[in-house]
Structure 1
């Protein structure tokens, strides 16, 4: 069961870690490449700021973004800003999200995301937490997938396994982390089911497109299943 209050508390902790990391960067550091192709660290920070505002829109019943072009244009506009402006925006946008989430609301209601996706309002705090945690890793500033809280990693694997469940291009796949936990995903593509094993961090990296899966093993020596872009 989703506990939005728990997720909001965990989000505050994750945001604190992110703000502490970015405060150590100067203008030069923010301009260096992130781990996301074509994006600097400034792009990642700008995206996180605009994502917080977009999720405020979701909680308040407005479109998440005006359109994809506006979203992309705003990130490109904000990415090269001076460090102090970037960090002030990151903190202020996070505070705006927290204020919006603190307002009395029906957390069981359905809300609209991007591209026709809908979800329960109760999952929005976890969605924001995933943005903060994973993009903190993307900054390439010493925070790794192995540093993520175990509870978050497990739940994000849950989320991604569910996202690919029944996908027409993904074969039936079991995902096991060696501790007895097993997730099932895929199911649409032809071929016998396979089981992929590895650490939780490596499995999350593969499912989220942040690692190539070379550290994983597939039972029977079969090729690693191909995953579509998120």
Structure 2
């Protein structure tokens, strides 16, 4: 069962870590490339700010974005801004999301995200936590998948494994870090392959941040996952 209040606190802590890292940059570093193809670090920060506002819309019953074009335009418009403006926007948008999350609400209700995706309102904070943590890694400023909180790594691995469950183009997979295990891919009584690796490497592969070269695969080859 989701504990949205706990996850909101985790989002706040992750955002504080991100802000501390970003304030150590300068405008030149901000304009430099991130680890996401075609995006500067400024693009990443602009996306995070607009994502916070978009999730406020979700929690308050409005469309997440006016359109896909508006989403992309907001990121492009915000990307070249100076560091001081980026930091203020990131901090202020995060505060708006925290306030929306702390307002009295029915957290069991179903909300609509992008592209017709629906979910429980109680999972919105976990989704935001993933945005902040993974995009912090994407900045390429020294925060790596190995630095992510252990709770986040375990829960996001489970979330992504669930996301790919039932996908007809992915074989039945058992994922394990040697202690915990998850299943994903097509439904089957017996997995087609078993994928074993360190928690950071499993999450990195599922999240499209690593190619899976560090993983051990038994029973076949590591499949290519569809984009998130």
Query: Normalization by structure 1: what TM-score?
Result: 0.96
Partner of 1:18: 18
* Corresponding residue number in structure 2 for 1:187: 186
Is 1:53 the equivalent of 2:58?
no
2:197 maps to 198
The answer on whether the counterparts of 2:174 and 2:191 sit within 8 Å (CA) in structure 1 is no
Structure 1's unaligned 5+ residue stretches are none
2:176 is the alignment partner of 1:176: yes
Q: Aligned residue for 1:116?
A: 116
Q: 8 Å contact 1:170–1:188 — kept in the other structure?
A: no
Q: After superposition, what is the alpha-carbon deviation per residue over 1:58-80, rounded to whole angstroms, capped at 9, x for unaligned?
A: 00000000111110111001000
Question: Partners of 1:150 and 1:83 in 2: how far apart?
Answer: 30
Which residue in 1 is equivalent to 2:63? Answer: 63
Measure the CA separation in 2 of the matches of 1:12 and 1:116. 27
For 2:169 and 2:44, the matched residues in 1 are separated by 29
- What is the RMSD computed on CA atoms of the aligned residues? 1.3
Query: Gaps (5+ residues) in structure 2?
Result: none
Match status 1:105 vs 2:105: yes
Deviation by residue 1:92-136 (Cα, 9 ceiling, x = unmatched) = 000000011111101111100010100011111111110000000
The equivalent of 1:81 in structure 2 is 81
1:110-168 per-position Cα deviation (integer Å, ceiling 9, x unaligned): 10001010001111111111000000000001100000011100000000000000001
In 1, the alpha carbon distance for the partners of 2:87 and 2:19 equals 8
2:128 match: 128
Counterparts of 2:218 and 2:103, CA distance in 1: 49
Q: Is the 8 A contact 1:169 1:188 kept in 2?
A: no
2-structure distance, mates of 1:65, 1:56: 10
- Between the aligned partners of 1:175 and 1:83, the Cα distance in structure 2 is 40
Which residue of structure 2 lines up, in the alignment, with residue 143 of structure 1? 143
TM (norm. structure 2) is: 0.97
Q: 1: distance between equivalents of 2:213 and 2:153?
A: 19
Contact 2:58 2:113 in 1 (8 A): yes
Structure 1 residue 156 corresponds to structure 2 residue 118? no
Aligned residues: 227
Task: Output the CA distance in 1 between the equivalents of 2:204 and 2:81.
Answer: 30
Q: CA deviation at 1:223?
A: 1.4
Displacement of 1:192 in angstroms is: 6.6
1:227 is the counterpart of 2:225 = yes
How far apart, CA to CA, are the structure 1 residues paired with 2:191 and 2:201? 23
